[in-house]
Amino acid sequence: MSLFLSIFFALVSVLHSVSSSSGNLSESPCPLNFDAVRRLVNEGPKRPMLTDMNTQCQIVLQGIRLLRAEYLRTNGYFLPPVNSSCYESCRNFVTEFVQGFDIRTSCGYYPELISEACMNITSRAQFESLIPKSKLQEIKRHCSQSLEKSFACDSCTSKLSSLSDILRHGPGNGNGNVSDCSGYPFLYAAAVVNQFGPIDRATARCLFSLYFSARQSSLNKRHEIVIYGIVLGSVIGILGAFTAFWFLFIRSKKSEERVVKVTDNDEPSLVLESRTSNLARFKIEEIKAATMNFSRENIIGKGGYGNVYKGMLPNGTEVAVKRFKNCSKAGDANFKHEVEIIASVKHVNLVALRGYSTATVPLEGHQRIIVCDLLHNGSLYDHLFGSGMKKLSWPIRLRIALGTARGLAYLHYGVQPAIIHRDIKASNILLDEAFEAKVGDFGLAKFNPEGITHLTTRVAGTLGYVAPEYALYGKLTPGSDVYSFGVVLLELLSGKKACEIIQGKSVLLSDWAWELVKEGKALDVIEENMPEMELPEMMEQYVLTAAICAHPILQARPTMDQIVKILETDVPVHGVDARFWFSSFYDQGLCSINFTTTRISPRKAYSPEVPAHTDKSEYAGCFPGANPPTLKSDMKVRGTLATDLMAFG
């Protein structure tokens, strides 16, 4: 039982007691049964266990669902009254008692998490009217018994997982919200079907992934003697092991001086960094052991900077190891400072950075390495454009879009100073097993090997995704990420790549989509035969949202916070006006080039060369799966005040 979970339920119950005593407040007290959950927590031993941000957010989410299930059992409703103070109580207590943790900024959880119904279903009767009787009977057969055993739990959850589709497409519910439809069947099973109810350890573990341990009974005298004997023997064994370890440690330190040098570079100003940061600094030997000495069999991605390897840490955790080649140790101080900052940015929709390494290895040169969480479900690029992949259903695509938007909104508004990603694209959006989006490679665009270009002002990004004002003038703002997000959303809607060659000509997805929007054919953007599509009016709204995000004029684009609100609440999109004439912005054959160029001066013509060796892979994040190779090409850039927009020739 984690300390975080104990704090969560125990403190919510305190807040509930306080709110209950204040009957004159404008908001009514939260009616959820915190006392029952508090008893469940207090009955178990409190053994603290550190958890990462994603685990903490999942505990909060599943804990709220457990409380709602108990409310459904006793009151017959899935949701507490709208005017109750449940959301703010949860948010305030987490912020107050878990320092630096806020369910809104850290997890992206908004009031709708508690107050918004799936497909407008608020009561048990409404739920049962939508589900066929045969399905309800099936659930009762598999979920009514104790869920203590794994086979009973698996049998129940497999039946529940199929009900979310029925809820989304039930008669008369075409315009409802689908954000928590996946959780409703589990709430219903725990509250109505299971004979033990949601406040049962086995039910909570099976249906909500919450683990409560029973308090152990007091030991008799004989057991105490056995325990004392074991403890005493353990202490003696530990002291002996410590002595042996110290002897071996002294010997290994002496032998290291005779081994061929492998230098871990460390500037004096950064010696104390490990004491002030949770970011791990790995030795090169540890990285080699994790990746089987950078084995070819462990390669899961390639790029111009180097390779990405699958690795396993000594504790069994699988990680992705991104290796930058051909570096010089002169930039290590800045690299270490940046990764420290990046590692401090925690959000459920951002890829977690676990650690790094810098080392000079004989015959291999100087290297920089970052270690990230490994996501087995690959990237959005893999699922949209990979061979043999099943088409993603619309609910999954919407979940990916919303998760990506929340991650970017956190980078723009949840940290100080704000972080602009600069290279949002399908291959940088990684997916976990539940298809939750994780934005990767934020803040790492500058960490390319030194000497790759002599240009001093660089535009980092991928053609087709880069905002015009950034590509032309080097003007980088949060709106640049909004443009790239709009292109990714168009890819999700259409199943087409950001830039493709059609009949010998390069076609931008954003231009193609905008032309259809202008002609009143927004629905033609939607990929044919997409599973589980919404009503046409809703799908059109998503197309308009993507189009306005990819607007060529910076000031016309919404902010990422506004986009999150649009995607969460289906706010109508206005202001999609005529596309400007910059559709000739890209010339033939440049669709798949990642590029670096100088900032444009609007006062005089110029044509700087971009070196032919400039090449960055479509793979730009820590995730499994290779990506299409990029092209190597010479580009000349010409710009004048008269042309305003640049053409590649």
Strands 353-361 and 280-281, how do they pair?
parallel
Number of separate helices (H) and strands (E) present in the chain: 22, 15
Cis, bond preceding 395 (omega within 30 deg of 0): no
- DSSP E strand boundaries for 112-201: none
299-302 long-range Cβ contacts below 8 angstroms, 24+ apart: 300/623, 300/624, 300/625, 300/626, 301/617, 301/619, 301/623, 301/624, 301/625, 301/626, 301/627, 302/617, 302/619, 302/626
Structure tokens at 197: 């109810």
Show Cβ contacts of residue 362 under 8 Å, excluding neighbours closer than 6 positions.
Answer: 260, 261, 262
- Beta strands at 635-638 and 609-610: parallel, antiparallel or unpaired: antiparallel
State how far the Cα of 371 lies from the Cα of 314, in Å rounded to an integer: 14
Decide the pairing of beta strands 365-373 and 353-361: antiparallel
Rounded Cα distance between 190 and 199, Å, is 9
Instruction: Tell me which residue of 533, 644, 511, 641 sits closest to 579, measured CA to CA.
Output: 511
Q: From the CA atom positions of the chain, what is the Rg in Å?
A: 28
**Letter for the amino acid at 482?**
V
User: Which of 633, 635, 629, 639 minimizes the C-alpha distance to 649?
Assistant: 635
Which of 332, 373, 423, 615 is flagged as catalytic? 423
Question: Which one, of 446, 226, 265, lies nearest residue 358 by Cα?
Answer: 265
Its sign, for the CA torsion 147, 148, 150, 151, is negative
Mapping DSSP to helix (H, G, I), strand (E, B) and coil, where does residue 144 land? coil
Report the Cα 409 to chain-centroid distance in Å.
12
Q: How far is CA 503 from the centre of its chain?
A: 37
Whether 423 is catalytic: yes
Beta strands, E only, 456-509: 461-462, 499-502, 505-508
Question: Which position has the token pair 């659930």?
Answer: 139
322 annotated to a ligand binding site? yes
Q: How many CB atoms lie within 10 A of CB 225?
A: 11
Q: How far, CA to CA in Å, does 358 sit from each of 261, 363, 554?
A: 14, 15, 39
Neighbours of 23 (CB within 10 A): 8
Q: Coil, strand, or helix at residue 492?
A: helix
Could you list the active site residues?
423
> Annotated binding site for ATP: which residue ranges?
322
